[in-house]
Structure 1
Amino acid sequence: MLTRYILPLLGLIAFAFAVQQMTQAQQKTPPAVPPVEPAKSPFAKQLAGSGIIEPETENISIGTNLPGIVERVNVKVGDMVRPGVPLFRLDDRQLNAELVVRKAFLENAQATLEKLNNAPRPEELPPLRAKVAEMVANLDDQTKQLTRLQRLGAAASEDELTRREAGVAVAKAQLERAKADLALQEAGSWKFDRLVSQSAVKQAQAQVEQTGIELTRLTVKAPQLKWDATNSASDATEYKVLQVNVRPGEFVGTVQGQALIVLGYIGKLHVRVDIDENDIGRFRPNLPGFAQPRGNPHVKFPISFVRVEPYVIPKKSLTGLNTERVDTRVLQVIYRIESADLALYVGQQMEVFLNAAEGK
């Protein structure tokens, strides 16, 4: 009796479960709603590209002229700095010690030149004059002895006569030497010796100045920038510190591309747009358009053309779309964001749309 009713009931339940599962499997999954609505262009004919927000002066990557240990950092992120303001300084103890040594070399070279310019010393001449007088008296004595010997005639031996003649010759040579020494001292220093000494002074001065310049280069300052007439940043007076990648006590070197501090004038933000090489033929500098921040398609910023960088480069900022290739090349175009209320940050990605239908 129990088996007669339970087995059909179980079969009915299993059949109903199978029908339910098949019905659910055949239903279509509703399309997923993206968390953020993608940006859309209102233009019938358009040029679109991804862009990066940058300062009006572009990013100014500050490095160091010399390697060394950072002694202090004078700025922090968000500070406004004027051109010429110290940003950070390296340890200067070694160069200060070197400057002391080079100043000592300079003083030595200057003293040597001064000695040559004031030669001879007054105290050096009297001994030399006395030496000349002594040699004159010695020559006179030797001459008189030779004369007396010659008067003896045959009574004088030939050997004695020879020695007296040699004594006179030696006395004459000694007198000439004493006179030459006196004349050399009275003439003063040789002009070529003075020229050599002057060159040594100049070399020492140049080394002192070189070390002084190296000391000033240890202090890295905000650069003095000049702008042409077409750049609206010609009135830039302050730059914002966008990034600080250096700390006191760190060793920094002259590594190419190492940005220790990043500055930028952000009076008007720019957006650097990558135009795909396939769309370059449709691009015109006067195309109107707008820019939208990534993730906020409801906000639009009007843009105006600034310049084209006429060098097509490989695309470096990939957005992750399947249509992008690593070997894609782009033309970079700079636009100014014409808006006073900017909730934008340097380095932020933007979607840029240009109305290609209005280009001439």
Structure 2
Amino acid sequence: MFTRYALPALAVVSFSFAVVQMTKAQQKAPPVSPTVEPARAPYQTAVSGAGLVEPETENIRVGVNLPGVVKVVHVRVGQEVKPGEPLFELDDRQLLAEQAIRRATLASARASLQKLQEMPRAEELPPLRAKVAEARASLDDKVKQYARLQRAGGGVSDEELIGRQMAVEVGKAQVAKAEADLALTEAGAWQADKLVAAAAVAQAEAQLAQSATELMRLKVTAPWMSAPDGAAVTFRVLQVNVRPGEYVATAPGTAMVALGTVGRLHVRVDIDENDIPRFRAGIPGTASPRGNPRTTFPLRFVRVEPFVIPKRSLTGGNTERVDTRVLQVIYAIDSPNPGLYVGQQMDVSLNAATP
């Protein structure tokens, strides 16, 4: 009974299910609109490229001159700073101790030079003059004793006479030595010794100045830069990658603080090497923020960087090649408040129509 009625019913249900599934499979899926409408070029003939927003001065990546531990950070993200204002400082205790040693060395060198310059001391001359007088008196006594023996005639032995004669010669030498010591002291320091002492002072001063320079290098400040009209520019802190207590090194390419000028923004456009023949310096263009194609900004040509480089900024497109090279062109956004951020990606279209 079951096989007579249940199996045909099950076959009918299965057949109906298969028909429904086949019908659904043959139906076309409804068109899916993109989440974000892609940017459209407003020109009939356009050169398109990906752009990055950057300050007028480009991104200034401030590093350190010397390795060390961060002592204090003076700035925060979004703060405006002037050239020369401190950004952060490194620990300076070792250099301060070294500076104190070099300051003492300089004081010692200056004292030695002053001592040579003020020679002879007035107190040194009287004892030397007294020694000269003493030597002369001793010589006179020895000369008189020798003369007395010579007058005595044969009552004096040759040995005693020769001894008195030699004593006279010794007295003469002692007088000469005392007079030479007095003359040497009265002449003062030797000029060559003064020059050596002056060189030691100059060396100590240079070492002390070096310590002061190294201490200044521990205080990282905003770079000096002027606008075309000569006025000092104002920087905005874009990024702070350092904290108190961290050890920082002088590795190349490491940015502790990123700065950019406040004011006009630029767009760095990457033009694919295949589109370079269609590009002409000076052509206008428009840019739209990635994800907001309805907002466009007119672009004004600034300059071309005439060096084709490997492509670094990737947009994530399916047809994008990473083994290509690009020409970078700089455009300015003249809108006063564009509402853009540094580093934001832009879809750029340049008018490549033949004039």
Same fold (TM over 0.5): yes
Matched residue type, 2:278: R
**How far is the alpha carbon of 1:244 from its aligned partner?**
0.6
> Residue 143 of structure 1 aligns with which residue?
143
> Residue 204 of structure 2 aligns with which residue?
204
Instruction: Tell me, yes or no, if structure 1 residue 51 matches structure 2 residue 51.
Output: yes
Q: What is the rounded CA distance, in whole Å, between the counterparts of 1:294 and 1:208 in structure 2?
A: 55
> Residue 15 of structure 1 aligns with which residue?
15
**How far is the alpha carbon of 1:2 from its aligned partner?**
5.2
> Residue 41 of structure 2 aligns with which residue?
41
Alpha-carbon displacement from aligned partner over 1:112-160 (angstroms, at most 9, x marks no partner): 1111111111111111111111111111111112212222333321211
Q: What is the rounded CA distance, in whole Å, between the counterparts of 1:240 and 1:35 in structure 2?
A: 34
Q: What is the rounded CA distance, in whole Å, between the counterparts of 1:207 and 1:154 in structure 2?
A: 77
Instruction: Tell me, yes or no, if structure 1 residue 249 matches structure 2 residue 208.
Output: no
Percent identical pairs in the alignment equals 60
Q: What is the rounded CA distance, in whole Å, between the counterparts of 1:249 and 1:14 in structure 2?
A: 74
Query: Tell me, what secondary structure is at the counterpart of 2:337?
Result: coil
Q: What is the rounded CA distance, in whole Å, between the counterparts of 2:297 and 2:118 in structure 1?
A: 79
Instruction: Tell me, yes or no, if structure 1 residue 267 matches structure 2 residue 301.
Output: no
Q: Which moved more, 1:282-291 or 1:46-55?
A: 282-291
CA RMSD in angstroms comes to 1.7
> Residue 124 of structure 2 aligns with which residue?
124
**How far is the alpha carbon of 1:235 from its aligned partner?**
4.9
Name structure 1 gaps, 5 residues minimum. Answer: none
Indicate if the aligned counterparts of 2:36 and 2:291 stay in contact, CA closer than 8 A: yes
Q: What is the rounded CA distance, in whole Å, between the counterparts of 2:177 and 2:232 in structure 1?
A: 78
Query: Tell me, what secondary structure is at the counterpart of 2:275?
Result: helix
Matched residue type, 1:337: I
Indicate if the aligned counterparts of 2:278 and 2:352 stay in contact, CA closer than 8 A: yes
Aligned residues: 355
> Residue 195 of structure 2 aligns with which residue?
195
> Residue 297 of structure 1 aligns with which residue?
293
Q: What is the rounded CA distance, in whole Å, between the counterparts of 1:278 and 1:216 in structure 2?
A: 49
The residue correspondences of 1:195-344 to structure 2 (distance < 5 A) are 195-228=195-228, 235=231, 237-344=233-340
**How far is the alpha carbon of 1:236 from its aligned partner?**
5.5
Q: What is the rounded CA distance, in whole Å, between the counterparts of 1:2 and 1:318 in structure 2?
A: 67
Name structure 2 gaps, 5 residues minimum. Answer: none
Query: Tell me, what secondary structure is at the counterpart of 1:278?
Result: coil
**How far is the alpha carbon of 1:216 from its aligned partner?**
2.1
Indicate if the aligned counterparts of 2:46 and 2:352 stay in contact, CA closer than 8 A: yes
Query: Tell me, what secondary structure is at the counterpart of 1:21?
Result: helix
What TM-score does the superposition give when structure 1 sets the normalisation length? Answer: 0.94
Change (3 A) 1:35 1:272: same
Q: What is the rounded CA distance, in whole Å, between the counterparts of 1:266 and 1:142 in structure 2?
A: 98
Query: Tell me, what secondary structure is at the counterpart of 1:152?
Result: helix
> Residue 61 of structure 1 aligns with which residue?
61
The residue correspondences of 1:45-124 to structure 2 (distance < 5 A) are 45-124=45-124
Change (3 A) 1:22 1:103: same
Indicate if the aligned counterparts of 1:236 and 1:265 stay in contact, CA closer than 8 A: no
Q: Which moved more, 1:86-95 or 1:20-29?
A: 20-29
**How far is the alpha carbon of 1:348 from its aligned partner?**
0.5
Q: What is the rounded CA distance, in whole Å, between the counterparts of 2:40 and 2:280 in structure 1?
A: 21
Q: What is the rounded CA distance, in whole Å, between the counterparts of 1:324 and 1:339 in structure 2?
A: 30
Q: What is the rounded CA distance, in whole Å, between the counterparts of 2:81 and 2:222 in structure 1?
A: 7
Q: What is the rounded CA distance, in whole Å, between the counterparts of 2:96 and 2:159 in structure 1?
A: 74
What TM-score does the superposition give when structure 2 sets the normalisation length? Answer: 0.95
**How far is the alpha carbon of 1:54 from its aligned partner?**
0.3
**How far is the alpha carbon of 1:228 from its aligned partner?**
4.8
> Residue 354 of structure 1 aligns with which residue?
350
Q: What is the rounded CA distance, in whole Å, between the counterparts of 2:317 and 2:36 in structure 1?
A: 16
Alpha-carbon displacement from aligned partner over 1:43-101 (angstroms, at most 9, x marks no partner): 22110100100011111111122222211111100111111211112222222222211
Q: What is the rounded CA distance, in whole Å, between the counterparts of 1:331 and 1:238 in structure 2?
A: 30
Q: Which moved more, 1:22-31 or 1:187-196?
A: 22-31
**How far is the alpha carbon of 1:256 from its aligned partner?**
1.3
Q: What is the rounded CA distance, in whole Å, between the counterparts of 1:4 and 1:49 in structure 2?
A: 73
Q: What is the rounded CA distance, in whole Å, between the counterparts of 1:164 and 1:324 in structure 2?
A: 116
Q: What is the rounded CA distance, in whole Å, between the counterparts of 2:202 and 2:278 in structure 1?
A: 64
Q: Which moved more, 1:147-156 or 1:61-70?
A: 147-156
